[in-house]
Chain A
Amino acid sequence: DSGVTQTPKHLITATGQRVTLRCSPRSGDLSVYWYQQSLDQGLQFLIHYYNGEERAKGNILERFSAQQFPDLHSELNLSSLELGDSALYFCASSSGLAFATDTQYFGPGTRLTVL
């Protein structure tokens, strides 16, 4: 158990809908990262927040957005969903800001299925 929690575990929705995925980092960690894992694209970095501020963006679509709240939990919002958005979405957390050297602890993921 990494100490990172993600809810829900599974989500099934229809095309065009909007969903919110939630992540609670390990106690004391200030950084939250979001990743997408799909059969087509493999694992891709989406976005990084540190203490409430966006620090880096990866391959995140404009239809997707994220935020980190004062209590440090984070939400990933996916809108206008398409079939290709079906994937596992992982959240990870780390203690600091050093992307290069901090160990990231991954949650168990949320499996999103878009029908």
Chain B
Amino acid sequence: DVKVTQSSRYLVKRTGEKVFLECVQDMDHENMFWYRQDPGLGLRLIYFSYDVKMKEKGDIPEGYSVSREKKERFSLILESASTNQTSMYLCASRTVSDSGSPEQYFGPGTRLTVT
């Protein structure tokens, strides 16, 4: 089974803090994604990564950056947290191999509250 884990289930941070959200997958997937989920807005893509050290902006990258130094790990960074970044953050991964399923597999989510 594919396993995607996220470092924290719940996180409370203060405005202006630098926040790191970590995601690890154990299936050697090339692609990894960060989404945020808000009531009434659904899931929106923040950033994604094709492979190690490669990243692309999603639909709402403002206020976020990412890092992918190793294939299994994809980090989301909030440089200076703001209250409008209070949300549920979901990480996902998938393989690009023809022999694998193209499905995206999701982690359990991190609920971040910025006060």
Do the two chains bind? no
B positions within 8 Å CB-CB of A: none
